[in-house]
Every structure is written in C-alpha cells, then in structure tokens.
Homo-oligomer: A and B are copies of this chain.
C-alpha cells in the first residue's frame, strides 16, 4: 500500500480506464495499424494480458475508441446549432467559436476521423446520415432562405459548407506545414486561432456577399 504521490500524471484511474486512456491517446495519434498492443500496455503501465482481459481484443478496443472519438467529433459540431432561431450570421459565430475551442482541446481528432473514413467508409457513413444530416439541413435551409430573400448572394450549399469547415478545421490539420512555412511558434498559433473565431465569420460573410458565386 505505498501512497502514490500524484504519480503518473492522471494515473489514479482504474486499470480499465488506464488502458482506455492509453489506447485513446495512441490510436488517435497514430491509427490502428501503427499501434501495437504492447505499446498500449506500456503506455498504460499494465500487463499485456490485461488488455485482453478487459477488452477482449485489440480490434474491440479500437472500435470503442473509434466510436467515442466519432461521437466527440460530432458533438463538437452539433452543440447549440440545431433548434435556435437566431440569424445565420450569429449562428456562424457560435459554430466557429465552439469548434475552434473544441479543436484546441482535441487537435488530433480531425485527421483520425478523415483517415478512418477513408479506410472504413461504411461504419461511419451511417452515423453521418443520422446525426449530421439534421444539422446540415437546418443550416442549409436557413442559407437558402437567405438567398431567396436576397440577403446574401447565391452559393452552392457544398461550397458554403466546404468553406466553413475548411477555414475552421484546416489550420489544425495543416498546422505542422503552416507553422513551419510561415514561421509561427506555438503561442502565436493559438493566438491566431483565437483571432479566427472572429475573422472566419467575417470572411464567410464577405464570401456570402460576393457576386457571381454561381456559374
């Protein structure tokens, strides 16, 4: 019964949770094939057999992490967006702000999801239909109403969505390249991401008022 003096960072967790945390970290960072069960065991500081004892197999454990990650990713999008009847400009501000906060906390998630989606389209595909479509349709409807009302210029919903998501997520995905090319340190990077919370809505707004968006 040695008293553990704040030993291994967050490691006063149960064995099961230690394994899951280690798996989450490694899988999310490197993907399924790159991570060996022994890596997870080492990272969690537990015996290899315990992984199978608690989670039956590497694949089962991965699927668990996968689903949790995907849920996280989706929740990051959907919060506070669906029901409220606020104007689109203000809604964009909230979406972008929330999602940049989210990406700051989970910078590895987008690449994980994109990779998973490429190598395993079917599993995630279904969840997109059920979980993302509602949000999309709500937002896109609002967009199209604004177009009809003449408030903004016509634009393909695909372009609108690609721009919104691209402007928000890409800096985090492309961070290693961008930061090196433009020569920006970590502190400056985060400062810039905070700026983008205000700037992206402005830019999207500018885009939505640019003529000749169609044809």
- Docked complex: A162-187 residues within 8 A CB-CB of B: 162-163, 165-167, 169-171, 173-174, 176-178, 180-182, 184
Residue ID in chain B nearest A194 by CB atoms: B215
Residues of A in contact (CB 8 Å), total: 60
Indicate whether A207 reaches chain B with its CB closer than 8 angstroms.
yes
Distance between Cα atoms of A178 and B113 in the complex (Å): 13
Indicate whether A52 reaches chain B with its CB closer than 8 angstroms.
no
Residue ID in chain B nearest A176 by CB atoms: B117
Least Cβ–Cβ distance between A113 and chain B, in angstroms: 8
Contact residue among B158, B171, B177, B198 (Cβ-Cβ distance under 8 Å from A178): B158
Least Cβ–Cβ distance between A204 and chain B, in angstroms: 9
- The SS class assigned to the A binding surface is helix
Instruction: Please state the number of chain copies in the assembly.
Output: 2
Indicate if the CB atoms of B133 and A161 lie closer than 8 Å. Answer: no
Distance between Cα atoms of A136 and B183 in the complex (Å): 11
Which of the 9-residue segments A5-13, A53-61, A118-126 touches chain B?
Answer: A118-126
Indicate whether A199 reaches chain B with its CB closer than 8 angstroms.
yes
Q: Mark interface residues in A122-155 (1 if CB within 8 Å of B CB, else 0).
A: 0001001100110010001000000000000000
Contacts of A30 in B (CB 8 A): 119
Indicate if the CB atoms of A133 and B166 lie closer than 8 Å. Answer: no
Indicate if the CB atoms of B199 and A203 lie closer than 8 Å. Answer: no
Indicate whether A104 reaches chain B with its CB closer than 8 angstroms.
no
Indicate whether A157 reaches chain B with its CB closer than 8 angstroms.
yes
Indicate whether A156 reaches chain B with its CB closer than 8 angstroms.
yes
Contact residue among B32, B132, B170, B176 (Cβ-Cβ distance under 8 Å from A169): B170
Distance between Cα atoms of A47 and B167 in the complex (Å): 46
With contact pairs A31-B31, A33-B31, A210-B206 given, residues A174 and B162 touching in the complex (Cβ less than 8 Å): yes
Distance between Cα atoms of A173 and B177 in the complex (Å): 15
Indicate whether A89 reaches chain B with its CB closer than 8 angstroms.
no
Indicate if the CB atoms of B181 and A132 lie closer than 8 Å. Answer: yes
Indicate whether A71 reaches chain B with its CB closer than 8 angstroms.
no
Indicate if the CB atoms of B119 and A115 lie closer than 8 Å. Answer: no
Residue ID in chain B nearest A171 by CB atoms: B162
